[in-house]
């Protein structure tokens, strides 16, 4: 075979040609210069980053007849033999095909013989993690105390599969992925030597798909050159790498962020007709979500390997990308990955998930007002609570009762209501946050994000509400809600909600007050007190007979948010308004059963 693949032709032959592993190459060269070469080395890291190549270069440097500053000359007999794989003193074996005890026994016998013409006999075992447990055990003694002229070099991509007894006997060096800058520079240098024309965006696609592995990049480069007839273009590279189908994910992600739900069914249909794997498509959407989040947070894309077209794409979507929306979108997509594993209706699951994602603004509360969409959603979510708190502060207009004939059953209901009037005439305290406080916003967030927390907060009494201090208390009858909100996951969720709306570090106090009664118990106590106070009943009857207005009275106990909301709903009830008008009466007080 006359042609040599680029990955083999441009394999590193000196330490200086190894990319992104400066720490390792410098350490090995210093060890040679200082005469501190140990008997066993372990090279770990991803595929295609130079582990085996470094092992061969290290072997050449140790046995080179004319070394230059601990680097092999590449011209002496030993260097040429090691490069060509014909050296008798450098044995390179594959751990996957020589993984048994018998192969290790043969290796132990081989190390007993001194080198033929070199200073060291070097054993390179690639993919050493493939050896069996028995084979590792058979190697232990030889590895711990080998002859002084023997050096073991192990290479592996799965360090965790190697027994600790082997790890403790080796010097470990962890190789990292090759950086974009070094890979881009190296590929351009190779293409220049090969006289191949290329486009920068096409080269970026190749680098990204190689995932930091130079061998993968050179293999893809070979393939694209052959497909393009000696030229590397963006169109050919996109088609060969399957990136043309990924444009569908661009359209789907764009429709989700722009909330163009009507486009999604047709896009999903196209995905189905092309036979694209829904799991792959979901992974593309997750990658878009991650890139968009980093772009929003840092105002730059998470890497230098993006094409100009991709930069324009993310820039055009930035105005629609709220951080809260991206958080929720990421959760939906990661859940979709898991759902696709166990569903026989992959298309339906995917379709419902992307439509749900496109409507995410209607089910989450976005606090950031930087876009009209976010502002409208926040206003819609905040409206119900604001309406309740504002209307609760407006006093009920008092009108004198008119003397008309009323039905007996209606009269009885009015009389029962009048019995609940108490002697205390203090103004009505309202369970609402202060203007500088955060309570109202906390309720908004809880109602939309976590209904369970919202339900617990309905039974709480607001003690203090400022940006620096939020204090609430629960009645003794609500000890269960108090315990839930003080401990475990509910506590963390509540604190996160408070911190989301607080501009400062808010101190949170949650207490249990024995003096605060539940609304239902309060009604029972008040009714019992009424029975024990005939004078009050007489006063009420006198007030009704004379037609004078009965003042609205509130107990010392502060009403819960749920009671206030219930009162507001009752006031807006059309039937009760009609009854008041027809009977000439008014509602004095409302209690929750």
Higher per-residue pLDDT: 19 or 519 = 19
Contact yes or no for 477/521 (Cβ under 8 A): yes
Please check whether residue 501 lies inside any domain of the structure: yes
Answer yes or no: do 16 and 97 share one domain. yes
Mean pLDDT, residues 332-338 taken together: 92
At residue 558, the pLDDT reads: 47
Higher per-residue pLDDT: 569 or 456 = 456
Instruction: Supply the CATH number for residue 290's domain.
Output: 1.20.272.10
Round to whole Å and give the CA distance between 367 and 370: 9
User: CA of 334: how far to CAs of 210, 362, 366, 399, in Å?
Assistant: 24, 20, 21, 60
Answer yes or no: do 100 and 80 share one domain. yes
Round to whole Å and give the CA distance between 486 and 453: 11
Round to whole Å and give the CA distance between 472 and 461: 5
From 156, 174, 192, the end of a domain falls on 174
Answer yes or no: do 418 and 437 share one domain. yes
SS (H, E, C) 449-480: HCHHHHHHHCCCEEEEECCCEEEEEEEHHHHH
Is the pLDDT at 381 greater than 50? The verdict is: no
Is the pLDDT at 372 greater than 80? The verdict is: no
List pLDDT tens digits, range 524-580: 444 444 444 444 444 434 444 444 333 333 333 445 556 666 777 777 777 677 777
Answer yes or no: do 398 and 546 share one domain. yes
Round to whole Å and give the CA distance between 477 and 459: 10
Weakest-pLDDT range from 114-128, 177-191, 197-211, 413-427 = 413-427
Instruction: Supply the CATH number for residue 104's domain.
Output: 3.40.50.300
The token pair at 467 is 């940006």
Mean pLDDT, residues 214-226 taken together: 92
Instruction: Supply the CATH number for residue 211's domain.
Output: 1.10.8.60
Percent with pLDDT over 70 in the chain: 75
Answer yes or no: do 326 and 376 share one domain. no
Higher per-residue pLDDT: 284 or 553 = 284
Mean pLDDT, residues 216-228 taken together: 91
The pTM of the full predicted model, rounded to 2 decimals, is: 0.57
Is the pLDDT at 585 greater than 60? The verdict is: yes
Answer yes or no: do 471 and 372 share one domain. yes
Please check whether residue 358 lies inside any domain of the structure: yes
Helix (H), strand (E) at residue 187: helix 180-194
Mean pLDDT, residues 503-532 taken together: 58
Round to whole Å and give the CA distance between 339 and 115: 60
Using CA atoms in the order 367, 352, 331, 505, what is the torsion angle rounded to 10 degrees?
20
At residue 153, the pLDDT reads: 96
Round to whole Å and give the CA distance between 38 and 148: 10
From 312, 342, 362, the end of a domain falls on 362
Is the pLDDT at 592 greater than 90? The verdict is: no
At residue 560, the pLDDT reads: 57
List pLDDT tens digits, range 126-167: 999 999 999 999 999 899 899 999 999 999 999 999 999 999
Confidence of residue 61 (pLDDT cuts 50, 70, 90): very high
Round to whole Å and give the CA distance between 573 and 562: 17
At residue 436, the pLDDT reads: 53
Round to whole Å and give the CA distance between 313 and 28: 45
Q: Classify the C-alpha dihedral 49-51-52-58 as positive or negative.
A: positive
At residue 532, the pLDDT reads: 44
Is the pLDDT at 354 greater than 90? The verdict is: yes
Answer yes or no: do 143 and 216 share one domain. no
Round to whole Å and give the CA distance between 194 and 174: 32
At residue 503, the pLDDT reads: 60
Q: Which residue has the tokens 């090995």?
A: 28
Weakest-pLDDT range from 153-167, 207-221, 353-367, 422-436 = 422-436
At residue 304, the pLDDT reads: 78
Higher per-residue pLDDT: 476 or 336 = 336
Answer yes or no: do 128 and 198 share one domain. no
Please check whether residue 126 lies inside any domain of the structure: yes
Round to whole Å and give the CA distance between 182 and 370: 39
Is the pLDDT at 124 greater than 80? The verdict is: yes
Q: Residue 334 sits in which domain range?
A: 243-362
The token pair at 399 is 């009108």
At residue 45, the pLDDT reads: 93
Contacts of 175 (CB under 8 A, 6+ apart): 21, 24, 43, 44, 45, 46, 49, 50, 51, 54
Q: Which residue has the tokens 């497909």?
A: 227
Instruction: List the one residue out of 134, 152, 132, 157 whose CA is nearest residue 142.
Output: 152
Please check whether residue 1 lies inside any domain of the structure: no
b/e burial code for range 16-29 (CB count within 10 A of at least 16 → b)? eebbbbeebbeebb
Beta strands in 429-551 (DSSP E): 461-465, 469-475, 507-513
List pLDDT tens digits, range 86-104: 999 999 999 988 889 999 9
Round to whole Å and give the CA distance between 252 and 259: 10
Round to whole Å and give the CA distance between 140 and 102: 14
From 174, 194, 227, the end of a domain falls on 174
List pLDDT tens digits, range 404-450: 444 455 445 444 544 443 333 333 333 445 555 678 888 888 888 78
Most confident of 242-251, 351-360, 537-546: 351-360
Contacts of 319 (CB under 8 A, 6+ apart): 371
Answer yes or no: do 130 and 276 share one domain. no
Answer yes or no: do 146 and 282 share one domain. no
At residue 245, the pLDDT reads: 66
Q: Classify the C-alpha dihedral 65-67-71-76 as positive or negative.
A: negative
At residue 332, the pLDDT reads: 92
Contacts of 107 (CB under 8 A, 6+ apart): 91, 93, 98, 123, 139, 142
| Order of strands across the sheet that contains 40-44 | 90-94, 121-126, 150-156, 40-44, 171-174
Mean pLDDT, residues 9-32 taken together: 93
Number of structural domains the chain divides into? 4
The token pair at 485 is 């909100």
Confidence of residue 377 (pLDDT cuts 50, 70, 90): very low
Mean pLDDT, residues 335-346 taken together: 90
At residue 399, the pLDDT reads: 43
Please check whether residue 474 lies inside any domain of the structure: yes
Q: What is the DSSP letter of 195?
A: T
Please check whether residue 56 lies inside any domain of the structure: yes
Answer yes or no: do 265 and 249 share one domain. yes
Q: What angle do CA 493, 498, 504 make, to 5 degrees?
A: 140
The token pair at 189 is 């240098």
Answer yes or no: do 275 and 421 share one domain. no
Please check whether residue 476 lies inside any domain of the structure: yes
Q: What is the DSSP letter of 68?
A: B
Confidence of residue 487 (pLDDT cuts 50, 70, 90): confident
Please check whether residue 208 lies inside any domain of the structure: yes
């Amino acid at each position: 075979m006359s042609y040599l693949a680029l990955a083999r032709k441009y394999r590193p032959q000196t330490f200086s040609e190894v990319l992104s592993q400066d720490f390792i190459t410098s350490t090995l060269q210093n060890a040679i210069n200082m005469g501190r070469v140990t008997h066993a080395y372990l090279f770990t890291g991803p595929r295609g980053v130079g582990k085996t190549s470094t092992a061969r270069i290290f072997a050449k440097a140790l046995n080179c007849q004319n070394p230059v500053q601990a680097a092999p000359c590449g011209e002496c007999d030993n260097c040429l033999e090691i490069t060509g794989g014909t050296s008798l003193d450098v044995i390179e074996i594959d751990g996957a095909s020589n993984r048994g005890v018998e192969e290790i026994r043969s290796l132990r016998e081989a190390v007993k013989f001194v080198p033929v013409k070199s200073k060291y006999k070097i054993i390179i075992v690639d993919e050493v993690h493939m050896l069996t447990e028995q084979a590792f055990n058979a190697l232990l003694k030889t590895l711990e105390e080998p002859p002084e002229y023997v050096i073991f070099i192990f290479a592996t991509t799965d360090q965790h599969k190697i027994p600790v007894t082997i790890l403790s006997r080796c010097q470990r060096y962890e190789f990292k992925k090759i950086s974009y800058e070094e890979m881009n520079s190296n590929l351009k240098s190779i293409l220049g030597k090969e006289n191949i024309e290329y486009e920068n965006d096409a080269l970026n696609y190749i680098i990204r798909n190689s995932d930091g592995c130079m061998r993968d990049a050179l293999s893809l480069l070979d393939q694209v050159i052959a497909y393009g007839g000696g030229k590397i273009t963006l169109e050919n590279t996109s088609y060969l790498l399957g990136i043309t189908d990924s444009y569908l994910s661009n359209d789907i992600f764009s429709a989700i962020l722009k909330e163009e739900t009507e486009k999604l069914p047709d896009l999903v249909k196209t995905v189905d007709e092309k036979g694209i794997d829904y799991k792959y498509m979901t992974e593309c959407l997750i990658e878009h979500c991650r890139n968009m989040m980093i772009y929003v947070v840092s105002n730059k894309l998470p890497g230098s390997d993006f094409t100009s077209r991709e930069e324009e794409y993310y820039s055009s979507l930035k105005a629609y990308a709220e951080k809260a929306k991206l958080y929720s979108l990421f959760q939906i997509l990661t859940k979709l990955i898991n759902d696709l594993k166990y569903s026989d209706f992959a298309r339906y699951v995917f379709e419902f998930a992307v439509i749900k994602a496109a409507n995410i603004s209607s089910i989450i509360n976005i606090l950031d007002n930087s876009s009209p969409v976010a502002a409208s959603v926040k206003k819609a979510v905040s409206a119900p609570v604001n309406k309740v708190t504002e209307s609760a502060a407006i006093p009920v207009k008092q009108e004198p009762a008119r003397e008309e004939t009323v039905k007996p059953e209606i009269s009885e209901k009015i009389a029962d209501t009048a019995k609940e009037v108490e002697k205390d005439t203090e103004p009505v305290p309202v369970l609402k946050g202060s203007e500088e406080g955060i309570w109202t916003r906390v309720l908004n967030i809880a109602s939309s994000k976590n209904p369970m927390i919202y339900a617990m907060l309905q039974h709480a009494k607001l003690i203090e509400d400022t940006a620096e201090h939020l204090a609430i208390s629960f009645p003794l009858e609500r000890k269960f809600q108090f315990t839930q909100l003080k401990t475990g996951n509910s506590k963390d969720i509540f604190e996160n909600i408070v911190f989301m709306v607080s501009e400062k570090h808010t101190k949170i106090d949650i207490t249990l007050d024995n003096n605060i009664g539940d609304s239902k118990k309060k009604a029972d106590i008040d009714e019992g007190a009424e029975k024990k106070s005939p004078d009050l009943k007489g006063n009420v009857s006198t007030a009704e007979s004379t037609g004078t207005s009965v003042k609205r009275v509130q107990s010392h106990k502060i009403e819960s948010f749920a009671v206030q909301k219930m009162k507001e709903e009752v006031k807006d009830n059309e039937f009760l308004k009609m009854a008041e008008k027809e009977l000439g009466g008014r509602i004095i007080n409302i209690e929750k059963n």
